Structure 1
């Protein structure tokens, strides 16, 4: 693995703002993706009335699954996942979330996942992409850490509630996946390269052909998912220069 500083601000190609240079495009390899391993919230956008296909984002780091030979999202270490669950059926009120010494503004008891994520991104220590929140309005909400907290065993969040109604309403917090643990040795833990182009696929499809980029110059901050080059194991055959 060859990782070196690169400071150019050049960007190339529609849909590939992470690509700093076409250097190495000739090294792209044709691979087959295991679509069951990709997540809608992180890796692809849903179809619409005017666009019948789902679109897998370009720039996703990939690894090769040992058992099938198919490619899936690169996963060197686990990312922290925490779940917040409202109990006691409150009918009103608010709560706050504290993460690493910083506390959000008040959040409605029945907030959407987007509202919870927005509140967290209002903290001085959380940038967009650092914490992705999913779930239904009113919870449970699942907090998945990435960005600057990619692969880290972060301190569990805490909450302070000012709920009304219900029976002893509260929020329970569980760490469902601790960050920093070694990923399963299934091949996805070995970095292979980046998905070079967007890939369209129909709902229900299980596989898709795609070009794998194994040589080039990359702006890590503009990749569609959080990626830390320092997590890449030694011995990778891919060669990239990363903008820092």
Structure 2
């Protein structure tokens, strides 16, 4: 079966697009072909269900153009900072703290889950809800990965420090923080590091398909905070020729 699925852009430009701030430019959309192998389930599209078998790509996804193929894929802006928090010495009780940019957290339990670490970091005065994602854990057996997004998306932030003074039990318990990925550097070199525009409408496609057509918004005005995935206009260092997007 042909994996290319034709797309006709005929629906209302305002339907289900909370990120669209202005209709200016929507008449200038270009028909493009997406490389579906570059998009991630749950991030860029919603998987099909028993009643609706086709996957649904979200509208408003920032896109870049792959130089080699001419197909479009998710825009690969500057990398986000990723830091790893590791508890060693097998503590059996107590708490530890993390300090980020001069602000120190409340005590974090020795056996904290990723959700607890996230909530504790977001309680800092310089970290808003949604500024970090935390995976891994629980402590002390498994390290956790803290990714800085939100207002810190694509930025090179200072490495957190940790204090294990409140941990008890075990053998010389300690907490270390390392930088797994420094933020701010270009995350791709295949052309997608340049913003080409935004996917105008949601697209339905069959699981296993590798290509689909869509419409590209390259001229207009959007609400950056309402896009379906984190996006910081201040971090856009390069755009494809002709792109003229304004942000609110």
- Listed one character per residue, the Cα deviations across residues 206-227 of structure 1 (whole Å, up to 9, x for unaligned) are 5444332212211122223122
CA contact (8 A) 2:196 2:240 kept: no
- What is the CA deviation profile of residues 137-170 of structure 1, one whole-angstrom value per residue up to 9, with x for unaligned ones? 3342222222322322110011222223333222
1:86-145, Cα deviation, whole Å (9 max, x unpaired): 223333332222110112222223333222222222111112332222224334222222
Give the root-mean-square deviation of aligned CA atoms. Answer: 2.9
Work out which of the two has the higher radius of gyration on C-alpha atoms and give 1 or 2: 2
Q: Normalising by structure 1, report the TM-score.
A: 0.79
- 2:182 and 2:58 map into 1 onto residues whose CA distance is 27
Q: How many corresponding residue pairs?
A: 231
Match in the other structure for 2:147: 144
Match of 1:177 in 2: 181
Q: Give secondary structure in 1 for the equivalent of 2:111.
A: coil
Conserved in 2, the CA contact under 8 Å of 1:34 and 1:70? yes
CA 137–196 in structure 1, closer or farther in 2 if over 3 Å, else same: farther
From 152, 156, 159, the equivalent of 1:153 is: 156
Q: 1:239 aligns with which of 241, 244, 248?
A: 244
C-alpha distance in structure 1 between counterparts of 2:132 and 2:115, whole Å: 11
Q: Distance in 1 between matches of 2:231 and 2:108?
A: 26
Instruction: Say if 1:84 and 1:171, in contact at 8 Å, map to a contact too.
Output: yes
| Uncovered stretches (5+) of structure 2, i.e. residues with no partner | 1-13
Q: Check 1:236–1:130 CA distance in 2 against 1; reply closer, same or farther (3 A cut).
A: farther
Give 1:188 shift: 1.0
In proportion to residue count, which structure has more strand?
1
Provide the rounded CA distance (Å) in 2 between the counterparts of 1:104 and 1:121. Answer: 9
